[in-house]
Amino acid sequence: MKTNFILRLLTPVLAAWLLAGCDRTRPGEFQGYVEGEYVYIASPVGGTLTNLAVARGDQVKAGQLLFALERESEAASVRSAQHTLDQARAQLADLDKGKRPSEISSLAAQLDHARADLKLAETELARRQNLMGQNVISKEELDQARAQRDADQAQVDQLAADLATGKLGGREDAVTAAQALVAVQADALAKAQWTYDQKQQFAPAAAPVQDTLYRQGEYVAAGSPVVELLPPDHLKVRFFVPEEWVARVKVGAPAQVSFDGGKAPLTATISYISTEAEYTPPVIYNRENRASLVYMIEARFAPGDAAEVRPGQPVDVRVAQ
């Protein structure tokens, strides 16, 4: 971040120097420099740095551990959320099952006993109806037998309904509420797990470690970068062309980049052309001072070629005329 800030401050100076250098180069060749777009790896959750797994200058692979923060509290939250979710799922399963097998068996036995009593009551009622026809018993005795038969029938009906209900799950509204509770607890577990996972950060791509910004044992605030990476595809060359050249350069066009110590020019692809003058004198434009206008252009290297250059390195860029 400091490097990019300094480069922004120096851009007018660099532009003036590069423009002056243009007079000493061949037509279509401009001076520039290499710039890197750094990737700052941070955790969205704060904590004490317990493991700094890389050092400045290391080459890391995609998915490699970069650093870890203390996460005992987050681990406890995950365990608690898991237990709560298990409990909610058990309650839902209990509602789906209905009564226990032993309770169902007890209700079935009671129903069989009630049916036996009903059969006996019906037999007794039939016998007393026959005796009543022979004027052997009183009407009161017949009414008693009929009442007993009706009571036994009601008992059978009640136990049959209890048995059917016992085989069912919980009421629909109770089941719906239990399902909603399971969903809420599952979300709570996912959130706790996410927080736990964020205490470790891994390399998003293969890249050299440009710098490490904390030491092991220090407290890292949420969102504070710990490791600074510079993936190869984040390297680009930045150069400036005068006003009369900006219309000749097109996005997607190739550019040849040369630098001291390079065996052969590297090919970069122009990816950006500034729409505004990067450096202008504070005077009204005329045909003479328009020559002082320069426009910034950026070109990106292929990942394989980017390994040969370094941020801040001066280069010569040649574009097709």
Six-digit token string for 182 = 């399971």
Q: Give 96-103's long-range contacts (Cβ < 8 A, gap of 24+).
A: 96/169, 96/170, 96/175, 97/169, 98/166, 98/167, 98/168, 98/169, 98/170, 99/166, 99/167, 103/166
Q: pLDDT per residue over 200-233, tens digit each? A: 999 999 999 999 999 999 999 999 999 999 998 8
What pLDDT is stored for residue 291 in this prediction? 52
Locate the domains of the chain by residue range.
Answer: 1-38+230-321, 40-69+199-228, 80-191
The pLDDT > 90 percentage for the chain reads 42
Six-digit token string for 121 = 């009551």
Q: Domain 1-38+230-321: state its class.
A: mainly beta
Greater confidence (134 vs 313) lies with 313
The structure's pTM equals: 0.64
| CATH among 1.10.10.10, 2.40.50.100, 3.40.50.720, 1.10.1240.10 for 40-69+199-228 | 2.40.50.100
Query: What is the band of 28 on the pLDDT scale with cuts at 50, 70, 90?
Result: confident
